[in-house]
Amino acid sequence: MSAFLDWAVHFALACFATGMLCAAIRLMRGPAAQDRILAFDALYINGMLSILMLGIGIGSAIYFDIALLIALFGFVGSAAMAKFLLRGEVIEP
């Protein structure tokens, strides 16, 4: 891997870690449930992108599959939480 790509991966990881820290603070302090759901979205997206950067840095393809699973479960989880906030239930009888 070239020196520039190595530097770019480390810089991106630092940026995503900063974003995860800010999202975690909002997740804990959020005044409303909507703020916490948005913080959860930002947290899982930054986590997924961090895993992608690790996959690029290491050169292993398994990290891309893991990031795809995180994206899938994060989307389903945030959709379920949004439905719960709108209707008060996730599964309709």
Backbone φ, ψ for residue 24 (5° rounding): -65, -40
Q: Percent of the chain at pLDDT above 90?
A: 69
Domain boundaries, the chain: 3-87
86/93 Cα distance (integer angstroms): 16
In this structure, which amino acid lies at residue 66?
A: I
Please give the mean pLDDT across all residues of the chain: 91
24/66 Cα distance (integer angstroms): 21
CATH classification code of 3-87: 1.10.287
Return the closest-CA partner of residue 33 out of 89, 81, 91: 81
The 10s digit of each residue's pLDDT in 18-58 is 999 999 999 999 898 889 999 999 999 999 999 999 999 99
Return the closest-CA partner of residue 24 out of 49, 50, 43, 5: 43
In this structure, which amino acid lies at residue 12?
A: A
pTM listed for this prediction: 0.85
